[in-house]
Structure 1
């Protein structure tokens, strides 16, 4: 039994000490939809979270704008100046628009307004 415990501990140590990139594909701007503002949006968002989180949201421009406000107010995101905010919103609204829920209870954005 001690041998099994040692083996498990060695496996856990290998996982914890492995370079982060060895388990997931590194994200780059090129992995995102190719629209104007892609590089700026990537640079602004990736410092705090994966772009996969962003891509799963699917919101319209108003909701993206509200989300930027929320992240600035609640999560200490640096507030973008007016020009950068417009670039971010243009990109996010075009690259990650609202997703239509499936007829039978499909995916719904957690940020979508409640009926």
Structure 2
């Protein structure tokens, strides 16, 4: 292998290795929007799925409430008591409000508000 080929191979390997760390970013409460209830919401949700799933939803308070009910009924999520439900709904509706629909006809969440 020539010097230049070895140098290119080393540069490519370094680039791939440096970007690989970004794919495996650890989720922590600090990776979420900073609103009251962040830690509680993170603790409640992360046991079953990534917070990236939550962040992509973009729903209003009613849809978040419907989703919590659905997860309790269909997926055995522990039923939050009234105080915890309020904390969760306050956080989710503030941190992940409804968003404009994705352009280009890509994947649409089944929990997204219907137009």
Q: Relative to structure 2, which stretch is displaced further, 42-51 or 98-107?
A: 98-107
- The residue that corresponds to 2:26 in the other structure is 26
**Structure 1 spans left out of the alignment, 5+ residues:** 1-20
2:72 is the alignment partner of 1:85:
no
2:68 is the alignment partner of 1:68:
yes
Q: Which structure would you say has the larger Rg?
A: 2
CA-CA distance at 1:111 after TM superposition: 1.7
TM-score between both structures, scaled by the size of structure 1: 0.73
CA-CA distance at 1:91 after TM superposition: 0.2
**Structure 2 spans left out of the alignment, 5+ residues:** 1-20
Q: Relative to structure 2, which stretch is displaced further, 21-30 or 36-45?
A: 21-30
Asked whether the equivalents of residues 58 and 112 of structure 2 are also in contact (C-alpha less than 8 Å), the reply is no
Q: Map Cα deviations across residues 55-110 of structure 1 (whole Å, 9 max, x no partner).
A: 00000000000000000000000000000000000000000000112576577442
- The residue that corresponds to 1:95 in the other structure is 95
Distance 1:22 1:108 in 2: 25
| TM-align CA RMSD | 2.4
Q: Look up the SS of the partner of 1:87 in the other structure.
A: helix
Q: Look up the SS of the partner of 1:36 in the other structure.
A: coil
TM-score between both structures, scaled by the size of structure 2: 0.73
Distance 2:48 2:109 in 1: 20
Q: Look up the SS of the partner of 1:112 in the other structure.
A: coil
Distance 2:57 2:102 in 1: 15
